[in-house]
Amino acid sequence: MPPEFVVYLPVRNGGHHVDLAIGSVLAQSHARWRLVILENASTDGTPERLARWDDPRISIVPADRPLSMYENWHRAHDLMGQEDPATLVTILGHDDVFHPDFLTDIAGLVRDHPDASLYHTLFDMIDENDGRIRPCRPVPERESWMSMLGSMLWYLRDSFGTGYVFRAGDYRRVGGIPDLPMLLFSDWLVFVRLARLSYKVSTLSNRFSYRRHLASTSGTPSREKHAAHLVGMWHFIRLVRTEFAEFATTDAGRAGIAALLARELSLLTVPIIRRNFSAENRVKLDELLAIYDEAADGVPASTLVGQPYRPARVFVTIRRFNAAQEYLRYHWWGRFRR
């Protein structure tokens, strides 16, 4: 018999996007699934939208109070304790959508790789109006956790919370998603931890869409987002250097850490962004700069950030200018439009 999947869908103020997400689950060609919606005290009519869906496979778990993003997502970890440890589960962002054959293709991966600990598919990135931005970066059919982590650090992967499938027992074994600010870098950690239990496999076809728009944590150039980005990365780098020390102490690991820091610190050190950090966060920023100096061993940051066939320093200068421009547009020019 084909495997059954449990899809967890955390939502707060999902608007019409949550209807698209739910509809994408109902449209699956693989019929054996259950959808558990983690409703987080929405105030935009989302509870009323959810109540209109009449399908015995859908259950709604309301929150008794407004929860943080972490608290709502972590409810999936707690509910998985009620499942058979071998149950296949996945988490769907409320503004993302599965393509019709997502679960069918995952079931094929499970059949062909029963000892894998993490399953995934290629995907498209879409905008707020469902327009296709681009496909995700290439992913091998099979990879180890070290290859996965190294590729993330070098930004050779697009990796977000949606699209990964794993077993309930494994997710609880690694502790679920870590509590980092705005969950930035949290998904990287939990999925690398899951891959580390065995290995990761992926389809070579695009089977879901991740929505990237201004309201998402991946698209907002706000003071809060920049602070969360800095603190989340500070925690992430510290965990990589301790929990994954067998990778971090290799030449490949040090190069990957240097590449991530060169890329991200080139934005976080833009003067107009840096000056808005608290004193405590500036200490964290200085610590990350010191880690970069140690890991890069004299390699200029612009060399690691620059793109092939482009003058590295010019590329970095343009990137920093664009970051400052986006910040000003969000905080000042946008103020006059509101």
The pLDDT score that the predictor gives to residue 331 is 59
The pLDDT score that the predictor gives to residue 336 is 41
- From residue 127, how far is each of 17, 98, 145, 212 by CA, in Å? 12, 15, 30, 5
Q: pLDDT tier at 221 (50, 70, 90 boundaries)? A: low
Is 337 a residue whose pLDDT tops 50? no
Structure-model confidence comparison of residues 313 and 90, the more confident one: 90
Query: 147-197 pLDDT, tens per residue?
Result: 999 999 999 999 999 999 999 999 999 999 999 999 999 999 999 999 999
> Which domains does the chain carry?
5-211 (3.90.550.10), 223-337 (no CATH)
Contact yes or no for 174/194 (Cβ under 8 A) = yes
Query: 4-43 pLDDT, tens per residue?
Result: 999 999 999 998 899 999 999 999 999 999 999 999 999 9
The pLDDT score that the predictor gives to residue 1 is 73
Q: pLDDT tier at 215 (50, 70, 90 boundaries)? A: very low
DSSP character string of 305-338: HSPTTS-HHHHHHHHHHHHHHHHHIIIIIHHHH-
**Nearest CA to 268 among 251, 247, 254, 282?**
282
The pLDDT score that the predictor gives to residue 302 is 77
Q: pLDDT tier at 308 (50, 70, 90 boundaries)? A: very low
Q: How many percent of the chain have pLDDT more than 70?
A: 88
**Both tokens assigned to 6:** 């449990």
The pLDDT score that the predictor gives to residue 264 is 92
**Both tokens assigned to 64:** 């008794």
| H or E element, residue 5 | strand 5-11
Query: 264-277 pLDDT, tens per residue?
Result: 998 899 888 899 99
Query: 195-210 pLDDT, tens per residue?
Result: 999 999 999 999 999 9
Q: How many percent of the chain have pLDDT more than 90?
A: 78
Is 325 a residue whose pLDDT tops 80? no
Is 315 a residue whose pLDDT tops 60? no
Q: Compute how many other C-beta atoms are within 10 angstroms of the C-beta atom of residue 283.
A: 12
The pLDDT score that the predictor gives to residue 300 is 84
